Structure 1
């Protein structure tokens, strides 16, 4: 605010001396997110730069030297993180300093790079591709809880998804991209989503890293909804998958009300809306479609879109005072 205006209001008695002093004091602003963004960008640029350096000098450096450098840097990152970490707790543990989180993240990224390089160059796991993702998954999951790191937990979930895709779904299907000829990938996605949602529920139920629950649920809800919709779109038993979609949506809606989370309520409503819209369009386009059917489709999308927006506005007002996400 303009100092002259503040003095004028103070002279007129509209603001008191204490309020005047507070308004005249320079306001501090937080650079927390700016520093975090720069640090994350630095970790990504460093790991990417190492990859480019290795790619351009692979013939002169040698594979053994590259593996040694990656392994040594990874080990130093974990050693520093272990020495500086605070004692383990079932609850949230704050980082000891600003750069600690990013050193943990860099160490985990370098570990994944080390295992991938080892498999690509020396084929240490042979054709057991599941082992090449299972071992990093265990290390990342342990690191996520040991160091209390949400970013590492996301990496662990990603590796878990990769392991399930390779171990449960035949590798030949993944390699040939013949997803329509086998439904196991869809069922794998549904199982993966259910496991992650259960992990989020257990985190809150047993009060073990409760702040991890959102990450588990965020991955799990999107995966299970997308897999269920894929079953509706690609398989013949679309009504069965629609019934499953309604059951999942009912559970997620109930959970969102319990947790006072508008975010999960919103995505639940949107995914369910996609499923209902698919059934409506299927009923229109798989029958003798005439001009009246086209008009019905247009009216449906207009009316249903308004209804969905109205529903979200009403629910947002109910949860706004207690909304967590």
Structure 2
């Protein structure tokens, strides 16, 4: 796996050097990310490497974020680059989650599913989290989506996704509470008490999942 990963990373470095030095693609330089994604995906399937599959998906997400944002700004997010990037991240994340589900359903490379699912949900939650500071709807959305993910992951015994969802729900709930109660002393007490509660909840959930398995 690591030799294959090294080869992919060296190829990516060579492409990056070529683009910086000679700029063969000009303003379309982001297509190098797509090329790297397809190249890494082919090697991941051929070499049966989940590590390289993660590189392929990450490169694809980067390509989506860089190349598709101008088009989205032109049609839906005029002048709002941050909104376009968040939408891209959410769509790409859902695409990865769907890819993982499809791999399991088809029975082909089903062991790649955790890579796609973890990265996909991370992108979705990060997209919502990016708007928490400015939008009340994003705070509520982060809480709802995080709580739903945590519940689903607990039921299926998937602790990494459970932890991701629980922390996202906690951040969303905390943002709602802090925005509603603007008091420094209350904020200190809230984070002191709930932070410990979240940690205890994670430990208890992990133990419950292990016993159930």
Say yes or no: TM over 0.5: yes
Quote the Cα distance in structure 2 between the aligned partners of 1:312 and 1:169: 36
The answer to whether residue 176 in structure 2 is matched with residue 279 in structure 1 is: yes
Give how far 1:192 is off.
2.0
Decide whether the 8 Å contact of 2:147 with 2:169 is kept in 1.
Answer: no
Quote the Cα distance in structure 2 between the aligned partners of 1:106 and 1:305: 39
Quote the Cα distance in structure 1 between the aligned partners of 2:92 and 2:21: 30
- Residue matched to 1:302: 192
Decide whether the 8 Å contact of 2:143 with 2:168 is kept in 1.
Answer: no
Point out where structure 2 has 5 or more consecutive residues left out of the alignment. 74-78
Quote the Cα distance in structure 2 between the aligned partners of 1:125 and 1:259: 45
Point out where structure 1 has 5 or more consecutive residues left out of the alignment. 1-100, 174-178, 286-292
Quote the Cα distance in structure 1 between the aligned partners of 2:68 and 2:55: 20
Q: Does the C-alpha gap of structure 1 residues 187 and 208 become closer, same or farther in structure 2, counting only changes over 3 Å?
A: same
Determine which of 196, 210, 213 is the counterpart of 1:320: 210
Deviates more, 1:256-265 or 1:139-148: 256-265
Quote the Cα distance in structure 2 between the aligned partners of 1:104 and 1:321: 36
Give how far 1:163 is off.
0.3
Q: Does the C-alpha gap of structure 1 residues 258 and 203 become closer, same or farther in structure 2, counting only changes over 3 Å?
A: farther
Decide whether the 8 Å contact of 2:140 with 2:173 is kept in 1.
Answer: no
- 1:90-142 CA-partner distances (Å, limit 9, x unpaired): xxxxxxxxxxx333223222321232222222222121123221111111111
Give how far 1:180 is off.
7.2
The structure that has the greater radius of gyration is 1
Quote the Cα distance in structure 2 between the aligned partners of 1:109 and 1:182: 29
RMSD, aligned α-carbons: 2.5
Q: Does the C-alpha gap of structure 1 residues 277 and 138 become closer, same or farther in structure 2, counting only changes over 3 Å?
A: same
Answer 1 or 2: which has greater helix percent: 2
Decide whether the 8 Å contact of 1:129 with 1:166 is kept in 2.
Answer: no
Quote the Cα distance in structure 2 between the aligned partners of 1:181 and 1:125: 23
Deviates more, 1:104-113 or 1:223-232: 104-113
Give how far 1:151 is off.
1.8
**Higher RCO (Cα < 8 Å, 6 or more apart):** 2
- Residue matched to 2:160: 263
Q: How does 1:123-134 map to 2 (within 5 A)?
A: 123-134=23-34
- Residue matched to 1:204: 104
Give how far 1:299 is off.
2.9
- Residue matched to 2:40: 140
Runs of at least 4 residues off by over 3 Å: 179-182
Give how far 1:322 is off.
4.5
Aligned residue pair count: 207
Quote the Cα distance in structure 1 between the aligned partners of 2:8 and 2:68: 25
